[in-house]
Amino acid sequence: MSAITRDEVAHLARLSRLALDEGELDHFAAQLDQIVGAVARVAEVAAGDIPPSSHALPLTNVFRPDEVRPCLTPQQALSGAPAVEDDRFRVPRILGEEA
Amino acid sequence: MSLIHKTAAELGRLVASREASAVEVTQAHLDRIAEVDSKVSAFLHVDAERALEQARTVDERIANGDRLGPLAGVPIAHKDIFTTDDMPTTAGSKILEGWRPPYDATVTRRLREAGLIILGKTNLDEFAMGSSTENSAYGPSHNPWDLSRIPGGSSGGSSAAVASFQAPLSTGTDTGGSIRQPAAVTGIVGMKPTYGGSSRYGLIAFASSLDTPGPFARNVLDAALLQEAFSGHDEFDSTSIDAPVPPVVEAARQGDVAGLRIGVVKEFGGEGYQPGVLARFHETVDLLESLGAKVVEVSCPTFGYALPAYYLIAPSECSSNLARFDAMRYGLRVGDDGTRSAEEVMALTRAAGFGPEVKRRIMLGTYALSSGYYDAYYGQAQKVRTLISRDFEAAFHQVDVLISPTTPTTAFPIGERADDPMAMYLADLCTIPSNLAGNAAISVPCGLADEDGLPVGLQIMAPVLGDDRCYRVGAAVEKAFTDRWGGPLLSKAPAL
C-alpha cells in the first residue's frame, strides 16, 4: 500500500504554493511515497512518555533591551524588491475580483 | 613553498611580520582560482578587486602599527548562504539569483573585523539541502581528488576550494553533516561547533534548530583559529549561547590523547559501509590506543533512528522557513501580468525558482506537519530527538569523546545518486545525531580507502560546549598520521 497518494501530493503542492505540472506530480508522488515509507520507521521507537525536543538547547524567552537603534533605510529595504511604488512594495492583487 | 600551500596560521604570521603582504597573499590565491576553478567550480562569485582592496587596507593598518588578529590578511572562501552586503547571495537557488542583501551576516561581519580577506562566495546545494552540490541551481562543484566525483555537500564549494588550494580557509554550515561530510570526502578538516556557539544571524535559514556555521581548513589548528574568529555570543540570534568560546585554539595546539576515554559507536559500521572506510577507521582506533587513549565500545541504541527523525524534523522546519520566498519583497517574481493574484504569482514563482530537492522537502515537511499526521511524524520525531540526546548523555558519562567514520563511503561519482533521494540521504547517516543533539563534532582525514584511493574521514563527537575536545583529539590524530604518511594527506592528491 502506498504511504502517500498522487492526490495527496497535489494537495501538498497547493498548500506549499508550488504550481507543479502533471509530470512533476507523478515524479514526486513516487519519490515522496518512498521517503515517507522510510521515515515512518520512527514509529518503531517506544517513546510514549518521552517529552519531545523542539531544540537541542533549553532556551526560552530570550529578549534584548527594547531600545531604538539604527535600521535599514527604505531604499535598502526595497533594494531587492521585484516592484516598487511610492517607497512601498508593489504586489499583485491580494483580494478576489468581487471583493 | 609557494604561498598557496602554506597554512592559514603561517600566512597570518607572514603578513603580521611584513615578510609577505596581504596583497601578495591574496593575489597568489586569485591566480590559483584563475588557474583551476574552471575545472573545480568551487566559486559562484569571485570579486578580485574587492579582495585586493581589503588586503591593501590590512597592509596599511599593519604598517601603521595596528595589532590585528592571527588571521588578518588571510584569504577565505565564504559559503554563499551567508549574507554579504557587497556581493550577491544566492543560496545556490534561482529564486535568489542576483540578490544583493542589504546587510552582512554576523559571521561575515566577524570575518571582516578579523581582517580575513573574502575572495568570493562558494557553491552549495540549493538552500543547503543535499550532500553533493548537485542540487545547486548553478551546476555541481567537483572533487579535486577526482573531478568526476562529488566534493560532498551541502558546503561542497567550500570543501573543494580549500582542498584545491584556492583558499586556505572557508566557511560552511552544517545542518545534517554539511561541513563534516564534504571535509571527509575531500581530505580536509571540517568542524560543526556546538549549536548556538556560532551565530545564525544572516545565515539563510534551512532548519533553524539544526543550522550551525563552522570552519573548513587543511589542518586542525587553522580550523580552530577560524572558529574562534567568528564564534561567540550574538544578541541578533536568540539561540546564541551566552558563554565563552571553548578553548579551541589551545586544544588544537595541545593535541594529546593520553589517558583520554574514547568510545567507538557500536551502531555505526557493518552493512552499507565501504570496506576501505572501515579499514581506515579501525586503523585509527589502533593508533589512538597506541597514543595512550582508552578505547571502548559504546552503544547508542537510538542512533539508528536519527536519519528518519532528521528527515521529518529538517523538512518540517524547511517548509516553514522557505515560506518567506513569496515573490513579494525580494528575489524572483514570475507571472505578474496584471491579471494574476498574489497567490498565483507566488505558486508560479516558487515552482520556477526552487529545484526538485527543495520542492520535495517543502512538501514532505508540509505533510509531516499537517493535522492528522503531526503526532505520528513530526511529534514522534521530536521524541526520538530527545532519546538521541539521552544516548549522548549516557555515552559521555562513560567516555570523553565518541568516534565513528564520518561517512559510510568515499566520494561517489557525480550523477550516481542525483535522482535517488534516499540513497543521497544515507551520506549523512553518521553525522546527523550530533545535529539533533546540538553537540560538537569534527571530521579529520584518516587516510585513503584501498579500493578507490579516495579520502576517508574520522568523526570525533564531544559534548555540548566540549568543542575543544574535538580539536584536542583531532590534532593528536593529525600529528601521528602526518608523521606516518611523511606529510599531509593532501600532498597525495593529483595535480589539477
Q: How confident is the model at residue A99 (pLDDT cuts 50, 70, 90)?
A: very low
Task: Tell me whether residue A36 is in a domain.
Answer: yes
Same domain, residue pair B53 and B25: yes
Q: How many CB atoms lie within 10 A of CB B208?
A: 17
Same domain, residue pair B23 and B157: yes
Cis peptide before B154 (omega within 30 of 0): yes
Q: Which residues numbered 137-196 in B keep a CB inside 8 Å of some CB on A?
A: 195-196
Asked whether residue A27 carries a pLDDT value surpassing 80, the answer given is: yes
Chosen domain end from B386, B410, B425 = B386
In DSSP terms, B289 is beta-bridged to none
Q: How confident is the model at residue A97 (pLDDT cuts 50, 70, 90)?
A: low
Nearest CA in chain B to A17: B347
- Closest alpha carbon to B69 in B130, B1, B131, B22: B22
What pLDDT, on the 0 to 100 scale, is given for residue B418? 86
Q: How many domains does chain B have?
A: 2
Task: Tell me whether residue A17 is in a domain.
Answer: yes
Structural domain that includes position B348:
304-386
* A43, A55, A64 ranked by CB distance to B209: nearest: A55
Q: How many CB atoms lie within 10 A of CB B161?
A: 39
Check CB contact under 8 Å for B381 and A20.
Answer: no
* A35, A38, A50 ranked by CB distance to B386: nearest: A50
Same domain, residue pair B231 and B343: no
Q: How confident is the model at residue A98 (pLDDT cuts 50, 70, 90)?
A: low
d(Cα B252, Cα B460) in Å, to the nearest integer?
Answer: 13
What's the CATH code of the domain at B190? 3.90.1300.10
What pLDDT, on the 0 to 100 scale, is given for residue A95? 83
Asked whether residue A44 carries a pLDDT value surpassing 60, the answer given is: yes
In b/e form, how buried is each residue of B355-374, taking b as 16+ CB within 10 angstroms? bbbbbbbbbbbbbbbeeebe
What pLDDT, on the 0 to 100 scale, is given for residue A52? 95
Contact B182, B159 (CB under 8 A): yes
Task: Tell me whether residue A87 is in a domain.
Answer: no
pTM score: 0.97
Same domain, residue pair B28 and B13: yes
Residue for cell digits 509531516?
B368
d(Cα B363, Cα B356) in Å, to the nearest integer?
Answer: 11
Task: Tell me whether residue A88 is in a domain.
Answer: no
- Percent of chain B that is helix, strand, coil (3-state, to 5): 45, 15, 40
What phi-psi label fits residue B174: left (phi over 0), alpha (psi between -120 and 50 degrees) or beta?
beta
Structural domain that includes position A22:
6-44
In one-letter notation, the amino acid at residue A82 is P
C-alpha cell at B291: 597514543
Question: Which stretches in chain B have pLDDT values below 70?
Answer: none
Task: Tell me whether residue A72 is in a domain.
Answer: no
Q: How many domains does chain A have?
A: 1
Chosen domain end from B361, B386, B411 = B386
pLDDT digits (tens, 9 = 90+) for B393-432: 999 999 999 999 999 999 999 999 988 898 899 999 999 9
Same domain, residue pair B32 and B115: yes
In terms of C-beta distances under 8 Å and separation of at least 24 residues, what long-range contacts does A30-33 make, across chains too? A31/B360, A31/B421, A32/A4, A32/B360, A32/B363, A32/B364, A32/B367, A33/A2, A33/A3, A33/A4
Asked whether residue A96 carries a pLDDT value surpassing 80, the answer given is: no
Asked whether residue A5 carries a pLDDT value surpassing 80, the answer given is: yes
Same domain, residue pair B97 and B129: yes
* Percent of the residues in chain B that have a pLDDT greater than 70, as a whole number: 100
Where are the alpha helices (H) located in B322-400, listed in sequence order?
A: 342-353, 356-369, 380-398
What pLDDT, on the 0 to 100 scale, is given for residue B1? 77
Chosen domain end from B331, B361, B386 = B386
Same domain, residue pair B369 and B445: no
Task: Tell me whether residue A86 is in a domain.
Answer: no
Give the angle A45-A51-A57 at the CA atoms, nearest 5°: 110
Same domain, residue pair B255 and B313: no
User: Cα torsion for B487, B133, B141, B93, to the nearest 10°?
Assistant: -140
Check CB contact under 8 Å for A82 and B196.
Answer: no
Contact B407, B276 (CB under 8 A): no
Active-site amino acid positions of B: 79, 154, 178
Contact B114, B203 (CB under 8 A): no
Contact B51, B99 (CB under 8 A): no
C-alpha cell at A6: 498522487
